[in-house]
Chains A and B, each alone.
Chain A
């Protein structure tokens, strides 16, 4: 505090500018303080109630509304995502089912075709086998007949060479008997 020599300034300040006793108890200053306090409080009240408080409460409620909206939107998106996932799972399941069905039908088709082919092949084989057997039988018969002829020829030649007389009838019967035997 600057030294003040004006003693008449106040009864609460000594000649050196220091306080006498408690400045809080100096009644000289009370009216000044009360006046400015009232002015200040009225100013603060009007600034708050006219400008600050409505603005802040509007901002806060607006923010609250935005938050609520955003939360609701997020909830919607979440349920949509869940639905999409379910649809995807269902599609996957369906596809799997379809695939197994297709595999099953292909398998049975192939089996049927195979059966048909096998049957056809069997029939072919049977036909060919019987034809072969017939051919074999013919050949055998021919061979037999040839054998008989050859045998007859050889026998008759042999007999001729030996100076016999060939009795064709008995020769045939002999040969037949030999062949059977």
Chain B
């Protein structure tokens, strides 16, 4: 696949990674940091969807909610309850930040499921920035709220004294792996699902196996719909877990 250029236009052609290419929206040319690309388009669409659901949908402030308003209220209640249950009552001030991450990821994932669309969350550059933001802010919050006491997160006082240094090493490593797994999980899930759908779609070029291919694409699409939501949920809930560690570092 790395050298798929040779097989262009003959028989079965697999280009499962082409859907992730970033390209300028207007004309051709190099992609600078300010270039308006398909990344801009699909992120802008996610902002538009957010405004439609959360602002336009709730503009009536109805006591008995309409469909759009119930979606907005459902999302609000869902994330609010998650923050309260997982991170604790004193994490509620951080609720808008977690809501921002959750809404962006869930909307990008679902927009990415549209045919011919570009999945912004399938790029490690995007998810890594979000994961690093979470990691850095959680670490800063931890030190700001608890001072040096935040380091007791790594010093497990309930373990035997002899084991504590080894456990502290493991805890520190797992702490620094957090942003890696946090970002790779989301990007990997999105990329894998979309690439698998594309591979199945390429098999549809053979008439004999195309019905099977269509069935497989349908099944994968259903799974991807589920995964789109679950990964956004997992990203948000892990953010809550990290936030809880920062607010209450004592085991």
Contacts and interface: CB of A to CB of B under 8 A. Distances in A.
- The reply to whether A and B meet directly (CB within 8 Å) is yes
Interface of A: 1, 4, 6, 8-10, 12-26, 28-41, 43-45, 47-49, 51-53, 55-60, 62-63, 66
Contacts of A32: 22, 31-35, 37, 39
B47 A63 contact: no
A151 B124 CA distance: 164
Contact of A33 (B18, B104, B120): B120
B187 A41 contact: no
B17 A41 contact: no
A39 to B, nearest CB: 8
A10 B55 CA distance: 39
B108 to A, nearest CB: 9
Interface in B169-196: 187, 191
B61 interface: yes
Taking each of A1, A6, A19, which has the highest tally of chain B beta carbons within 10 Å of its own beta carbon? A19
Taking each of A12, A18, A21, which has the highest tally of chain B beta carbons within 10 Å of its own beta carbon? A18
Contacts, number: 162
Interface string B94-112: 0111011101100000000
Contact of B63 (A23, A51, A62): A62
Given A47-B54, A59-B61, A53 B96 contact: yes
Interface string B59-84: 00111010001001100110000000
Contact of B104 (A10, A26, A41, A56): A41
Nearest to A43: B47
A66 B20 CA distance: 49
A77 B112 CA distance: 53
B215 interface: no
Interface in B26-46: 28-35, 37, 39-40, 43-44, 46
A14 B122 CA distance: 21
A18 B34 contact: no
A58 B61 contact: yes
B130 interface: yes
A60 B73 contact: yes
B100 A41 contact: yes
Nearest to B36: A36
A24 B29 contact: no
B123 A52 contact: no
Nearest to A14: B5
A180 B39 CA distance: 159
Contacts of B50: 44, 47-48, 52
A49 B76 CA distance: 12
A18 B120 CA distance: 18
A49 to B, nearest CB: 4
Contacts of A28: 30-31
Given A37-B43, A62-B63, A29 B5 contact: no
Nearest to A66: B63
Nearest to A51: B55
Nearest to B20: A23
A38 B190 CA distance: 20
Given A32-B32, A41-B100, A44-B50, A56 B125 contact: no
Contacts of A44: 46-47, 50, 100, 103-104
Contacts of A4: 28
Contact of B21 (A23, A37, A60): A23
A52 B63 CA distance: 16
A60 B69 CA distance: 11
Interface string B115-136: 0000010111110011000000
Contact of B187 (A21, A24, A49): A24
Nearest to A38: B129
Contacts of B31: 10, 28-29, 32
